[in-house]
Amino acid sequence: MGCVRSRHIKHPPGYEDPVILAAETSFTVSDVEALYELFKKLSCSIIKDGLIHKEEFQLALFRNSNKENLFADRIFDLFDLKRNGVIEFGEFVRSLSIFHPNTPEAEKIAFAFRLYDLRHTGFIEREELKEMVLALLNESDLYLSDDVVETIVDKTFSQADTKGDGKIDPEEWAEFVKRNPSLLRNMTLPYLKDITMGFPSFVMNSEVNDAE
Amino acid sequence: PALMNAFELISTSQGLNLGTLFEK
């Protein structure tokens, strides 16, 4: 239903008014409409219900709907704000807004913290960090001995865990990122500033009167 | 790699490269 192009217009569950989404995010109304073009494509790539399922997200990221990846799973779970197993349009826009160049750095820092807090304890713990390093090595077909992995994790923890209590809290994380700004590199997608250029067909499907 | 920050290593994951979503 949500996959049929039509001007009058049965939207899928989770569709939200672009005007409201623009007011609550870093996007303009036109940006949100352009994102809807992308959303329609992603949300109908496998299961044609106008919602992004995990397999569709994996297909878009990896060109492979079966590719398991810890970090893609975390991103999917964070985008799925209602935690109902799918990404709706409103969730898609609100979450992507964090990656907009104009979004305050504090929001990006907070999102990255939640991303790495695998077990939702409110802290990034040493075991979580090691698990993520091992996942990255596995994904990259890289081999490092356990001693080397331990050294990397220990060194990073000694720099980030300034209170020395064996876990990284949000305040320590924010300070660590300020000292290592490259850690936020993939939290900004410059392309989002020009999203209407990527999906010019949004003009044809716009439901918003230019005068609004 | 032994000198690398663990989070820098992690941030190279393909799963965190959302730019891929916009590739045609």
Cα A19 to chain centroid, rounded: 22
Show residues of chain B in contact with A68, CB under 8 Å.
none
- Per the prediction, chain A carries an average pLDDT of 92
Q: Please answer whether residues A190 and A103 qualify as being in contact, where contact means their C-beta atoms are separated by less than 8 angstroms.
A: no
User: From the list B6, B13, B21, which residue is nearest A156 (CB)?
Assistant: B6
Show residues of chain B in contact with A92, CB under 8 Å.
none
Question: How many Cα atoms within 13 Å fall on the side-chain side of residue A197?
Answer: 5
Query: Within chain B, what is the greatest distance between any pair of CA atoms?
Result: 37
Question: CA–CA distance from A201 to each of A36, A100, B20 (Å)?
Answer: 10, 21, 20
> Which of B16, A96, A102, A57 is CA-nearest to residue B7?
B16
Average pLDDT over residues A151-180: 96
Average pLDDT over residues A190-209: 84
Give the pLDDT confidence score for residue A198 in this predicted structure: 87
d(CA A40, CA A49): 9
Q: What percent of chain A has pLDDT over 70?
A: 94
Give the pLDDT confidence score for residue A8 in this predicted structure: 61
> Which of A189, A190, A204 is CA-nearest to residue A40?
A204
Measure B9 CA to nearest chain A CA, in Å.
Answer: 7
Three-state secondary-structure class, residue A53: strand
Which of B:1-24 have CB within 8 Å of A? 1-22
Whether A73 has its CB under 8 Å from any CB of chain B: the answer is: yes
Show residues of chain B in contact with A189, CB under 8 Å.
18-19, 22
Question: pLDDT tens for residues A108-144?
Answer: 999 999 999 999 999 999 999 999 999 999 999 889 9
User: From the list B8, B15, B17, which residue is nearest A182 (CB)?
Assistant: B8
Question: How many Cα atoms within 13 Å fall on the side-chain side of residue B12?
Answer: 14
Q: Please answer whether residues B8 and A182 qualify as being in contact, where contact means their C-beta atoms are separated by less than 8 angstroms.
A: yes
Contact A62 B20 (CB under 8 A): yes
> Which of A185, A174, A207 is CA-nearest to residue A30?
A207
Question: pLDDT tens for residues A3-37?
Answer: 555 456 778 888 999 999 999 999 999 999 999 99
